[in-house]
Amino acid sequence: MFARIKRWLAPSWSKGGALGLLFVGAAAMAVFYGGFTVFAQYTNRLEFCISCHEMETGPYAEYKKTIHYSNRTGVRAECADCHVPKEFGPKLVAKVWAAKDVWHHLLGTIDTKEKFEEHRLDMAKRVWATMASTGSRECRNCHAFGAMNLEEQGRRAKVKHPQAMQEGKTCIDCHKGIVHELPQGYEGD
């Protein structure tokens, strides 16, 4: 079969070889896009995210105590909602970076709660830097300044949110530690 495909692609550029190459390239891109989409859907599931013991007993246990897990509206933000962009390009980059965490789990660098805690501040700083560089894009999927009803917010938020808007701040500038506990050694910005 591959020999027939090779013969079909073999004609000179003037006889359609470029068209065949274009077709093969488009097919390869479609397979990559489809495969990546299936992979991303699978790895974005909460069950996948907490399949490592250190995630289940650490960040997931913390998250279960927050309003992002349980609230009066019944809307739940899960791991991928905050840590994985929706757009294809940024999602691909996020998944490549996330592979590093899986690798370190397999190497034993962060495979226990204690080891995870040793590296937690560095990991948190990387996540915070990413969120800052994207203007807290994933937070704003649910929490847009323009959609906020300041009259329904607490007295402190009524004051702070307009200030943040004026100063060009985004969620992560003020809300570190809102879903996961702040790492030991964190002394603020």
The answer to whether position 118 is within a domain reads yes
The answer to whether position 131 is within a domain reads yes
pLDDT, average across residues 165-188 = 92
pTM summary value: 0.77
The answer to whether position 188 is within a domain reads no
To the nearest 10°, report the CA torsion of 62, 67, 72, 76: -80
State residue 161's pLDDT score.
94
The answer to whether position 169 is within a domain reads no
The answer to whether position 167 is within a domain reads no
76: containing domain: 50-142
State residue 180's pLDDT score.
93
State residue 162's pLDDT score.
94
State residue 159's pLDDT score.
94
Instruction: Provide the percentage of residues in the chain whose pLDDT is more than 90.
Output: 66
pLDDT in tens, 83-107: 999 999 999 999 999 999 889 989 9
Say whether pLDDT at 5 is over 70: no
Say whether pLDDT at 135 is over 80: yes
Say whether pLDDT at 156 is over 90: yes
Q: Based on the structure, what is the number of domains in the chain?
A: 1
State residue 10's pLDDT score.
61
pLDDT, average across residues 106-118 = 90
Say whether pLDDT at 11 is over 60: no
pLDDT, average across residues 146-160 = 91
The answer to whether position 154 is within a domain reads no
The answer to whether position 105 is within a domain reads yes
Arithmetic mean of pLDDT over the chain = 89
Dist CA 148 CA 142 (whole Å): 10
Say whether pLDDT at 7 is over 70: no
The answer to whether position 174 is within a domain reads no
